[in-house]
């Protein structure tokens, strides 16, 4: 094992939220290892650059991490900080998630200038979201609403709302809270009303698998309960194919020695929706995730999966 480096470089996206997240990790590392120099390496990703098409149309959320992984591979950076929900279910060979930071609020937030909740929106009210998961659930529970695509960073999205392009937005509560934008939140949607994305609210730190020195260094930042729940969520997603074209939601919550795991699969128009909840041993998160995937398939998700476009 190589000696721990005196200088650590963190690869990060350039958005305000990504920089907040990476600075947060940097501060935690500086507090643990004050003798080490911590630097950020801001990078532009294809997911940030292509804003006129949905993520599913251009290759999925993995487009937010590829450039960061390349910086790890060629030695320009030691670690990369990601929103866990942006990390593909299967990492490229030679990479690993070395730490999961304690999860922030995993719920979705209802954001509007004029309305207090989804129920208050008028017939054909326009809701903006970039997520197939949110779109499918909105269309299923509120078929009278118009759900339109929404891309760009949080500030861009809020400007579009204030300009009247949308009546409301559904955004991750965690991102708004981290950026000090909670005043825009009119209400928070329960995890039953809007099942969160896999890993929503959690930060993941990625390193090259060979860097055992970094894995040891990052251990104090790992939050065990978050790690176990997110591992179960990611296993369920893998068991369902993890397609960027699939409206999929999985959320785990630690309850004593068990994880309570809820999953949902739907068609994009919300006309078909399958949901299931299982509990299992928190020491075997991947097993529980695989069981949930199998349960969802048996309840009708298999038919939805067969409708997905060939990739």
CB 21 within 8 A of CB 178: yes
Catalytic residue status for 90: no
- What is the C-alpha to C-alpha distance for residues 52 and 49, in angstroms, rounded to an integer? 9
CB 308 within 8 A of CB 285: no
CB 45 within 8 A of CB 64: yes
The per-residue b/e assignment along 145-155, b for 16 or more CB within 10 angstroms, e otherwise, is bbbeebbebbe
The DSSP string of 145-203 is: SEEEE--S-HHHHHHHHHTTS-SEEEEEHHHHHHTT-GGGEEEEE-TTTSPPPTTTT-E
- What is the C-alpha to C-alpha distance for residues 184 and 177, in angstroms, rounded to an integer? 10
- What is the C-alpha to C-alpha distance for residues 248 and 237, in angstroms, rounded to an integer? 8
Q: Can you tell me whether residue 273 is helix, strand or coil?
A: strand
Question: Looking up tokens 């070395």, which residue turns up?
Answer: 98
How many Cα atoms occupy the beta-carbon half-sphere of 82 within 13 Å? 30
Q: Which of 86, 105, 108, 167 is catalytic?
A: 86
CB 233 within 8 A of CB 262: no
Tokens coding 121? 């929106």
The DSSP string of 8-56 is: EEEEEESSHHHHHHHHHHHHHHHHH-TTSEEEEEEE--HHHH--SS-HH
Residue numbers annotated as active site? 86
């Amino acid at each position: 094992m190589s000696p721990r480096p005196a200088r650590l470089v963190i690869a990060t996206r350039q958005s305000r939220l990504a920089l907040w997240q990476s600075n947060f990790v940097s501060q935690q590392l500086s507090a643990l290892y004050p003798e080490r120099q911590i630097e950020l390496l801001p990078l532009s990703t294809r997911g940030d650059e292509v804003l006129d098409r949905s993520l599913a149309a251009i290759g999925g959320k993995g487009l937010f991490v590829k450039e960061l992984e390349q910086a790890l591979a060629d030695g320009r950076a030691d670690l990369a900080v990601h929103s866990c929900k942006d990390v593909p279910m299967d990492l490229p060979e030679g990479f690993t998630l070395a730490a999961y930071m304690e999860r922030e609020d995993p719920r979705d937030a209802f954001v509007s200038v004029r309305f207090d909740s989804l129920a208050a929106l008028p017939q054909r009210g326009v809701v903006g979201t970039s997520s197939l998961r949110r779109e499918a659930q909105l269309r299923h529970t509120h078929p009278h609403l118009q759900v339109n695509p929404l891309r760009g960073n949080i500030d861009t999205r809020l400007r579009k709302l204030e300009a009247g392009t949308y009546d409301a937005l559904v955004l991750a509560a965690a991102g708004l809270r981290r950026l000090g934008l909670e005043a825009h939140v009119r209400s928070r949607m329960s995890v039953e009303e809007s099942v969160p994305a896999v890993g929503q609210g959690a930060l993941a730190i990625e390193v090259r698998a060979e860097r055992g020195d970094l894995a040891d260094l990052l251990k104090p930042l790992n939050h065990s309960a978050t790690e176990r729940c997110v591992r179960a969520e990611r296993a369920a997603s893998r068991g369902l194919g993890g397609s960027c074209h699939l409206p999929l939601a999985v959320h785990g919550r630690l309850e004593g020695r068990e994880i309570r795991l809820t999953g949902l699969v739907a068609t994009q128009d919300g006309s078909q929706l399958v949901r299931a909840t299982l509990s299992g041993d928190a020491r075997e998160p991947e097993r529980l995730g695989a069981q949930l995937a199998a349960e969802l398939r048996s309840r009708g998700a298999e038919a939805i999966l067969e409708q997905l476009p060939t990739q």
